[in-house]
Amino acid sequence: MDYTQLGRTGTSVSRIVLGTMNFGDRTSEEDSFAIMDRALELGVNFFDTANAYGGSGGRGVTEEIIGRWFAARPGARDNIVLATKVHSPMVDPTSDGDVVNARGASAWQIRREAVGSLKRLQTDRIDLYQFHHIDRHISWQEMWQAMEVLVARGEVIYTGSSNFAAWNIAQANEIASQRHFLGLVSEQSLYNLVQRSIELEVIPAAQNYGLGVIAWSPLAGGLLSGGSSDAKARSASDAVKGRRAELKDQIDAYDSFAKERGWTPAALGLAWLLHQPGVTGPIIGPRTVEQLESAVSALDISLSADDLAALDKIFPGPGGQAPEAYAW
């Protein structure tokens, strides 16, 4: 396993990030346990989840599965850098529960959901607590005050963002600096060969402020996976099939490129991300142990400058950093 620092922190994390969105939804608890066991054996020490994950199993179920895994594996917790998120509503709007404040990133919601996540995860701390989305209705003074309390209590170690624009990152960390607070240390963004918009501003901002970039949907929802006959896979959805038809020539060229070099398309897509400046690692969402092991094989792929140039021709990026990418 290869490791890197989590942004500008002194904490080392694996360059493959275990995403758990499938746990409790497309993946049973038994299989989820097997995946986490194997991940730990392979040296994957960075686990990512969210308070609302669970899909058909229900909100919070994914954290509960991880919590039961920790409870059944004494000592495993200290080997894991555990990341979760806050923002999504956790109460069914059709229920009789209080839903007025149960969403977003108010101080009330941050504290409430931190308590809930800690309970579900059966742990005393969240190593990386991430704002799942930007909340434009709450001031950074309020959000940082809530996080500062959690950090002071030892319940949160680091804070991160997800789906932030570059100016959100700048605003958040400038205000954190004014408060003598560490601020954001990571940004979790949509990033893959098909979708490279963050190269314009998010990656430069993240690098400037010392944030590690964590890439979600690294295989573009299955477009870069080489296809799948698995009915449960996201790559089998009608939307992905339609998108694959639109990009058929590019995907065929990409698949051929991988095949000629003896790589799977999925491993190549992950390897490309591992070669991008500022990227801590891609988040993989395996449903099986075999998919996990396949993803880890991306660490063995070394892409030459010619390889990277060839992939740029197949899936062109935005042209570099803004404003040069579009201004001249």
- Least trusted range by pLDDT, from 13-17, 52-56, 246-250: 52-56
Position 59 confidence tier, pLDDT thresholds 50, 70, 90: confident
pLDDT at 77: 96
Q: Does 11 score more than 90 pLDDT?
A: yes
Position 105 confidence tier, pLDDT thresholds 50, 70, 90: confident
Percent of the chain with pLDDT over 70: 95
Q: Which helix or strand (DSSP H or E) is residue 325 part of?
A: helix 324-327
Q: Does 236 score more than 70 pLDDT?
A: no
pLDDT at 229: 55
Position 284 confidence tier, pLDDT thresholds 50, 70, 90: very high
Q: Does 91 score more than 90 pLDDT?
A: no
pLDDT at 239: 81
The whole-angstrom separation of Cα 260 and Cα 263 is 8
- Cα 264 to Cα 43, 162, 207, 254, distances in angstroms: 22, 28, 30, 10
Q: Does 234 score more than 70 pLDDT?
A: no
pLDDT digits (tens, 9 = 90+) for 115-125: 999 999 999 99
pLDDT at 43: 97
The whole-angstrom separation of Cα 178 and Cα 145 is 12
pLDDT at 294: 94
- All structural domains of the chain: 3-327 (3.20.20.100)
Q: Give the chain's mean pLDDT.
A: 93
Using DSSP, state whether 62 is helix, strand or coil. Answer: helix
pLDDT digits (tens, 9 = 90+) for 127-176: 999 999 999 999 999 999 999 999 999 999 999 999 999 999 999 999 99
Q: Does 92 score more than 60 pLDDT?
A: no
Backbone angles phi, psi at 48, to 5 degrees: -120, 135
Q: Does 34 score more than 80 pLDDT?
A: yes
pLDDT at 297: 95
Taking Cα atoms as reference points, which of 56, 45, 47 lies closest to residue 22? 56
Token code pair at residue 204: 């430069």
- Least trusted range by pLDDT, from 217-231, 249-263, 312-326: 217-231
Catalytic residue among 3, 53, 158, 191: 53
Q: Are 105 and 135 in contact (CB under 8 A)?
A: yes
pLDDT at 58: 87
Q: Are 204 and 244 in contact (CB under 8 A)?
A: no
Tell me the mean pLDDT in the region 276-298.
96
Computed on alpha carbons and rounded to an integer, the radius of gyration of the chain in Å comes to 20
Half-sphere exposure at residue 22, Cβ-oriented, CA atoms within 13 angstroms:
24
Q: Are 280 and 212 in contact (CB under 8 A)?
A: yes
The whole-angstrom separation of Cα 194 and Cα 273 is 11
Tell me the mean pLDDT in the region 218-245.
79
Taking Cα atoms as reference points, which of 52, 50, 65, 68 lies closest to residue 126? 50
Position 230 confidence tier, pLDDT thresholds 50, 70, 90: low
pLDDT digits (tens, 9 = 90+) for 158-170: 999 999 999 999 9
Sign of the Cα pseudo-torsion (267, 196, 277, 325, in order): positive
The whole-angstrom separation of Cα 315 and Cα 182 is 36
- Least trusted range by pLDDT, from 68-72, 237-241, 258-262, 324-328: 237-241
Q: Does 275 score more than 70 pLDDT?
A: yes
Position 235 confidence tier, pLDDT thresholds 50, 70, 90: low
User: Among the residues of 122-210, which ranges form H helices?
Assistant: 140-152, 166-178, 202-209
pLDDT at 104: 78
Tell me the mean pLDDT in the region 42-69.
94
Indicate if 129 belongs to the active site: no
pLDDT at 16: 98
